[in-house]
Structure 1
C-alpha cells in the first residue's frame, strides 16, 4: 500500500469514528465528546476516561489506546485488523467504548 492509499483509507476511519459519535450522541445518553486534531481523534467519556485513535503513517497502522491497553491495526485488503490477532478495528472500538461508557455502543465503518 502506498502512503496515499494508507492516508485515504485511514482518514475514512477517522471520519467514520466522528460520524458514529454524532449518531450515538443523537440517539442516546452516551454523551461522547470527540475531538479531532490532524490524524488523531480523542473520545472523552462522561467519567473523563479517554480513547485515542491515531494514524501511524510510517508504519501504515492505526493505533487505538483505551483503558484496556494499546492496540495496532493494519489494513488486510478488506478490513483493519489487529496486528496481534485481537480482531477487527471497529469491533474492538465498540467493545472498548462500551466498557468505558458503561453502555452498549456500536461503531461501524
Structure 2
C-alpha cells in the first residue's frame, strides 16, 4: 500500500468514527464528545474515560487506546484488522465504547 492509499483509507476510518459519534449523539443514546486534531480523534464519555484513535503514518497503521488496552490495525483491502488477530476495528471500538459508557453503542464503517 502506498502512503496515499493509506491516508485515503485512514481518513475514511476517522470520518466514519466522527459520523458515528454524531449519529449516537443525535439519537440521544449517550453523549460522546469527539475531538479531532490532525490524525487523532479523542472520544470522551460522560464518566470522563477516553478512547484515543491515531494514525501511525510511517507504519501504515491505526492505533487505538482504550481502558481494555492498546490495539494496532492495518487495512487488509476490505477492513481494518488487528495486527495480533484480535478482530476488526469497528467491532473492538463498539465493544470498548459500550464498556466505557455503560450503554450499548455501535460504531460502523
TM-score, length basis structure 1: 0.98
Deviations, residues 27-73 of structure 1 (Å, cap 9, x unaligned): 02410000000000000000000000000000000000001110000
User: 2-side partners of 1:98 and 1:3: how far apart?
Assistant: 33
Structure 1 runs not aligned, ≥5 long: none
Match of 2:41 in 1: 41
- Say if 2:34 and 2:42, in contact at 8 Å, map to a contact too: yes
Runs of at least 4 residues off by over 2 Å: none
User: 2-side partners of 1:100 and 1:80: how far apart?
Assistant: 22
RMSD over aligned Cα atoms: 0.5
Of structures 1 and 2, the one scoring higher in RCO (CA 8 A, sep 6+) is 2
Structure 2 runs not aligned, ≥5 long: none
Match of 1:67 in 2: 67
